Amino acid sequence: MTERVVIVGGGTGGTVLANNLAGRLDREIDAGDVEITLINDGPDHVYKPVWLYVPFGQRELENGRRPLEELLDSRVTLRIDRITDIDADAQRLRSRNPGRPIEYDYLVLATGSTLAPEEIPGLAEAGHDYYSESGATALRDELLSFTEGHLVLSVVGTPHMCPAAPLEFVFMADDWFRERGLREDVDITYTYPIQRVHGNPHIAEWARPLMDERDIRVETFFNAEEIDADENVVRSMEGTDLEYDLLVGIPPHRGIDLIEEAGLGDRGWVDVNKHTLEAEAAENVYALGDTANTGVPNAGSVAHYQAGVVSQRLASEIRGQPPTAVYDGKTLCFIETGMDAASFVEFDYENPPSPARPSQKLHWSKLAYNESYWLTARGLL
């Protein structure tokens, strides 16, 4: 009987998994023993790290988009559709297209993050972001005309995609305004919800002195409660008011509602075993990338490594062998520290990060990786 693997989500996790699995199970697929289907609600794969560069005029949105059809192994069936119901007991999905339900033997949820600015009154109206295509282009237009005033970057919610990106943005903005001779006319403030500037204490200890040296003001224990767009003020739960001229907000994130409705986890994040990535509440269901509630950063490198683990485990299960591959929390991350310098961190569940000294070489490494990302998506790198 044919084993049906259904992957929902065509971001980094879903795409890398589909290609990795197609390569690993090529003989079984050719023999008709395995089918791999990837379901995505749009035709394109989007590489979100490009958005960080859009507000500074360094990249265009199209640099981060490619048709999934071009990226996927020809042995993977691509279905453009939106899933509307997950029945994990019956191992069945329904979609917005009427017709027969989609049945699976193994389901992988790689549905990623969605933005929820509406959870903070005023944020959607007053705040800019670079966590969406529309946000990145609108912010670019604002930044180009911003020559003086107070730029506030407020991390409103965690977890959020790419935990280093808010630090990168203020480091890049500082450098960008300096290069243009405007820095003395622009104040920059960075806010973070807890008592340090980043969730990981090692990265926070590294970043804070850099921020102080570069006159980037910091407000910690700052959880935005509402944005008063008439007065240009962010009000925090802790009772601090912060006036701004340009507000860049990192909005609260959620997974998709279907996951909560299916009883797989809260706020759209699937509760998983953090080593095997198997759902806690259902059989034959995996989650990876942002969707998997593992406590590691919501980052592309995490999705990439997790996809390799899920691929190995699925192949073992399909072949009737005990799956042995486990995810060890491995995360890699380049961190821009300006317009032409970057740091680099590597860590896992056991070993904390130790940020590298910022250098131009690491900056170019980050840009080179961004360009070669499409090889990663294809499963070649």
Q: Which residues bind another protein (CB under 8 A)?
A: 119, 157-159, 193-195, 199, 201, 221, 223, 225, 237-239, 295
Of 328 and 340, which CB lies nearer to another protein in the complex structure? 328
End-to-end distance of the chain based on CA atoms, in angstroms? 33
- Give φ, ψ of 148 to 5 degrees: -160, 155
Q: Are 126 and 227 in contact (CB under 8 A)?
A: yes
Instruction: Describe the crossing of helices 360-378 and 12-24 by its angle, rounded to 10 degrees.
Output: 60
Of 37 and 158, which CB lies nearer to another protein in the complex structure? 158
- Residue 33: Cβ-neighbour burial (10 angstroms; 0-12, 13-18, 19+): middle
Q: Which residue has the tokens 């799956």?
A: 323
Q: Which residue has the tokens 């802790």?
A: 238
Q: Identify the CA nearest to 234 among candidates 250, 247, 218, 215.
A: 247
Q: CB of residue 295 vs another protein: minimum separation in angstroms?
A: 4
Q: CB of residue 221 vs another protein: minimum separation in angstroms?
A: 4
Q: CB of residue 185 vs another protein: minimum separation in angstroms?
A: 32
246-250 vs 186-191, strand pairing mode: unpaired
Of 127 and 157, which CB lies nearer to another protein in the complex structure? 157
Of 37 and 276, which CB lies nearer to another protein in the complex structure? 276
Q: CB of residue 301 vs another protein: minimum separation in angstroms?
A: 17
Of 193 and 308, which CB lies nearer to another protein in the complex structure? 193
Of 221 and 374, which CB lies nearer to another protein in the complex structure? 221
Distance CA 87, CA 281 (A): 12
Q: Which structure tokens are listed for 123?
A: 């944020």
Q: CB of residue 237 vs another protein: minimum separation in angstroms?
A: 5
Q: CB of residue 214 vs another protein: minimum separation in angstroms?
A: 24
Distance CA 129, CA 142 (A): 11
Distance CA 264, CA 115 (A): 20
Distance CA 249, CA 160 (A): 11
102-103 vs 92-95, strand pairing mode: antiparallel
Q: CB of residue 341 vs another protein: minimum separation in angstroms?
A: 27
Q: CB of residue 160 vs another protein: minimum separation in angstroms?
A: 10
Of 239 and 322, which CB lies nearer to another protein in the complex structure? 239
Of 103 and 238, which CB lies nearer to another protein in the complex structure? 238
DSSP per position, 295-307:
SS-B-HHHHHHHH
